[in-house]
Amino acid sequence: MTIGLIAAMHDEIASLLQHMDAYGSVRHIGMRDYYTGQIYGQDVVVVLARVGKVAAAATTVTLIRDFSVDTVVMTGLAGGLARGGAVGDIVVADRLLQHDLDGRPFWPQYQVPLLDQAEFPCDPTLRKRLEQAAASFLQEDFEARLDTDTRARFRLKNPTLHTGMIASGDRFIGDSGAVSQLQASLPAALCVEMEGAAVTQVCHEYGVPCAIMRTVSDRADDTAHLDFSAFLRDVASVYSAGVIQRFLEAA
């Protein structure tokens, strides 16, 4: 059983790669490096998808066709919407949708033309395993892995785990007007990011189970861009590595 591990940004996979066994190999395909090996006893292929839905879809197809992965797990950052909670919370998707897909008047808003569906569910078993890994990380590892200074700097207090819909689109949401629009049109969406729905759609089309987890890095408002790289380096990469460690150890 081989697990494809996708991250959108480099900092997130750097710490995962540190735990990859020495016999791992790297293949360069379509401007991406695919690292094959074992992490915590599991066969994995780790890859940096880069940003956006096209990048994520291309990466997922390669993982499935060239590496025959049995499952796909993606980690990354997200902007929190109404019920997405606070910065530092984790969202595990039960389903995803493309908030910028609009084929009207020929197809309903958000629906993927010719697939007749807008929302793509994550695999329930994989999703529950990811939820358990995220919950134990927050309960048992959070304080140990993030020092007091980092927690204070990003005002991280009792981060919580949410499960629900994630909305993806090829746009960084960084203003409160856009947030209000998304909240009104997609009240179920917990957070917004730029890749997850593409990964889930490709996995659906190939019949490969997948699960997606996001760390809330900002509130998608006018301050969303501040501290983005610092958050990625000091918080999100610690979260991703910690949750994936627990996820793989439980596999």
3-state class of 251 per DSSP? coil
Q: Interface residues for ligand ADE in 209-248 (CB under 6 A)?
A: 217-218, 220, 224
C-beta closer to ligand ADE: residue 55 or 78:
78
- Residues 98-137: x/- map of binding to ligand ADE (CB under 6 A)? ----------------------------------------
Return the number of the residue (107 or 228) whose C-beta is nearest ligand ADE: 228
- Out of 6, 69, 130, 194, the residue judged to bind ligand ADE by CB under 6 A: 194
Check: CB of residue 226 under 8 Å from CB of residue 249: no
Please tell me the distance from the alpha carbon of residue 135 to that of residue 131, in angstroms, as a whole number: 6
Residue 173 or residue 244: which is nearer to ligand ADE going by CB?
173
123 or 218: whose CB is closer to ligand ADE? 218
Q: What is the DSSP string of 59-126?
A: HHHHHHHHH--SEEEEEEEEEE-GGG-STT-EEEEEEEEETT---TTTS-TT-BTTTTBS-EEPPHHH
Contact residue for ligand ADE among 3, 5, 44, 78 (CB under 6 A): 78
C-alpha distances in Å from residue 212, one per residue of 20, 28, 63 = 21, 24, 15
Binding site for ligand ADE (CB under 6 A): 77-79, 172-174, 192-194, 217-218, 220, 224
